[in-house]
A and B are shown apart, each in its own frame.
Chain A
Amino acid sequence: MSEASLPLAPSEGRSTVRQLMTTPTSAVAIVILAVLVAFAVFAPWIAPFDPSKAAAGPRLGAPTAEHLFGTDLHGRDVFSRVVWGARYSLPVGLCTLLLGLLAGGALGVLLGYMGGRLDAVGARIVDVLLGFPAIVMAILVVSVLGVGLVKVVIAVAIADIPKFARVIRGATIVAKQNLFVDSAVAMGAGPARIMLLHVFPTILPTVILLGTLNLGGAILSTATLSFLGLGTQPPTPEWGTMLNDGRDYIRYAPWMMIAPGMALFLAIISVNLIGDRLSEIMDPRAKGRM
């Protein structure tokens, strides 16, 4: 576990970005991520074809100058679909992460701050859930909620709650030992106010780091569920769904799965590289990831 709970002074914020940019690996990662985000934002202008337009080219056509990544079973342009896919895969991963972070963070702060019997029982349950494979848990939640994009976001977020709750609980236990928390108690502030206005700002750097380190995982998990047929449904050009489309044509049209898979891999590794570097910058003792 990383102990990256060192509070960042406001002036350090800019130098963090500079440090990220001056490290070759994280600089490359930022550029790759920026390209993918540009795909998501400017998809209609970047993509040469309508992503769902059938017969934009030959069926299962190999890559050509016109169709950079080839065409799929319905003759749709794979490059256009990958570009549009960024619009689905990236925000879906981000929403999942934020939702999980919010729920897990709230639980973690509550357990850590309140302590006592609530924490004893809560932390035990979190520990048990933590070891349960997250992807299996997400699949189970989908079995209850049903198949679909929004449901997958909720499912993966729920499956991630224990992970976030555990780290944030630890950070909260450290944060509540600050003198300003004692003085707030002495001044008569209630637990809710202290958690929100005193504890939360103190642990914010930990939350940001935790989020960055887990964004790649969130993108991966949601894409995995879509790949398994439990998330976004065809013909949505989401990367996981596209990979599922391509699996039956590995032999005849490998480009159908190579391009979206590569996009997914680049998104995840760039986010992970940034998270890794960020954790080194914020906590030089913790070299390597939690």
Chain B
Amino acid sequence: MTYFVRRVVALIPILFLTWTAVFIVFELIPGDPVNLMLAGVPASEEVIANERARLGLDKPVLERYVTFLGRAAVGDLGESFRTRAPVTEMILAQVGPTLQLAAAGLLVGLTVGLFLGVLAGLRPNTWIDTACTFSALAGSSLPSFWTGMVLIYIFGSMLGWVPIVGTGLDALILPAIVTGLFIAGDFARLVRSSIIDASRQDYIRTARAKGLPPIKIIGKHALRNALIPPVTMLGIQLSNLMGGAVVTENVFARPGLGTMLVDAVLNKDMPLVQALVVYTTAAYLIINLLVDVVYGLIDPRIRHARAAGT
């Protein structure tokens, strides 16, 4: 538990640093926010001045900085230039679809990656290995927006098996495959090398010598140890998933945080972009913390090392 507390405390300076960076970057963007907000619509000097006062833009930089940090911490990051709605509410409304996509994508990615990785890792340097490794490489070389379009064409247009747009679970199948492929290749490579490493260990030789059936050797001895490194990479996979969601949501015209981000950037809706960054960094840091904690739960050696404070 002390480890957990230590890690949570360590988050604070990082969040502070990132949010400071975010503030500076958005200060440096050329163009007055009110002008951006008006987007070319003519307005009187008075209206502009009022709007600046309302948004607090007439205050000195330092004061705005402190206000920004305070508001970021309590989740109040102003309102969208476009809709005038509070950005936090807008973002919360889009979290669901993205999480759904990420979860489905993770499921597909881990299943495919694990399957290819184990298959290749158990028979290294055979044609099975070559085929699996090549598939993994092809998977990570496929532009996911293109895969998405090809899948839409084949299964949506030609065969008509799944709806192309929609919010039902059947409309999630293709997006999940595309997002999953985004991470399956990397995951397969990790699992493969991890299995090869693990099967060289003495305890595997012992298990073989004891005459255990191969299925038991793989399932109980090799896999369990081989999976530790890939699990630690889950944090990075999650960030890949978030990146994948941006593209996948765009291709399938799905609602979600990715679509929101791209639209906000194209519309120059700066408060929304800023809020998305603030929350993404926070979410990312928290997820990584959770992955680290879970990792300790899986591997007793790490748990003990942490308890010893090393």
Stretch at the interface among A60-68, A104-112, A183-191, A251-259: A251-259
29 A–B contacts from the bound complex (CB under 8 Å)? A25-B134, A125-B17, A131-B235, A131-B239, A131-B288, A132-B281, A133-B246, A135-B247, A136-B243, A139-B246, A142-B265, A143-B264, A143-B268, A220-B141, A220-B143, A224-B143, A228-B250, A228-B262, A230-B262, A230-B265, A243-B145, A247-B149, A251-B153, A257-B150, A261-B143, A261-B149, A264-B146, A265-B143, A269-B138
Nearest CB of chain B from residue A262's CB, rounded to whole Å: 8
Q: Does A116 contact B (CB under 8 A)?
A: no
Complexed CA–CA distance, A264 and B145 (Å): 11
| A133-B239, A134-B243, A143-B265 known; A261 vs B137 contact (CB < 8 Å) | no
Interface mask (B1-42 → A, CB under 8 Å = 1, otherwise 0) = 000000000000010011000000110110000000000000
Interface size bracket, A side: 35 or more
Q: Does A53 contact B (CB under 8 A)?
A: no
List residues of A (236-273) whose CB comes within 8 Å of B's CBs.
Answer: 243, 246-247, 250-251, 254, 257-258, 261, 264-265, 268-269, 272-273
| A139-B246, A247-B149, A258-B150 known; A132 vs B239 contact (CB < 8 Å) | yes
Residues of A within 8 A of B18 (CB): 128
4 pairs of A and B residues whose beta carbons are closest in the complex: A133-B243, A261-B146, A269-B141, A143-B265
Q: B265 contacts A136, CB within 8 Å?
A: no
Complexed CA–CA distance, A265 and B247 (Å): 16
Contact check: which of B137, B266, B288 meets A273 at CB < 8 Å?
B137
Residues of A within 8 A of B265 (CB): 139-140, 142-143, 230
Which residues of B are in contact with A by a Cβ distance under 8 Å? 14, 17-18, 25-26, 28-29, 124, 133-134, 137-138, 140-143, 145-146, 149-150, 152-153, 157, 189, 192-193, 196, 235-236, 239-240, 242-243, 246-247, 250-251, 261-262, 264-266, 268, 270, 273, 277, 280-281, 284-285, 288
| A135-B246, A224-B143, A243-B145 known; A230 vs B137 contact (CB < 8 Å) | no
